[in-house]
Structure 1
């Protein structure tokens, strides 16, 4: 029973801290674009046309 006097306030404080972090992250735009990073990893930043041009230059030499 004595441990309840410690555990209940700690759990209430922890719930408020988690709620505050969730509110803060939503306010700062952490959840604005949920699908962008998943699609961004599939996009290739390197241009294949540049690679083909380099290969042609090497073949000519």
Structure 2
């Protein structure tokens, strides 16, 4: 699978066997980000080869 990943305004093509693997290569576990495809939130299994996704890190605090 090859996808175009944007994080904090920086875009790169990433390649891996799964979206989980690609996210780990970016330094994010799946449960710590929200995936956007075409501006909509999508589950990780809705990402296909050659998609463009944006990663929004989940922040918590008080």
Q: TM-score, normalised by structure 2?
A: 0.18
**Which structure carries more strand by proportion?**
2
Instruction: Name the TM-score, length of structure 1 as normaliser.
Output: 0.18
Structure of greater relative contact order (alpha carbons < 8 Å, 6+ residues apart) = 2
Larger Rg: 1
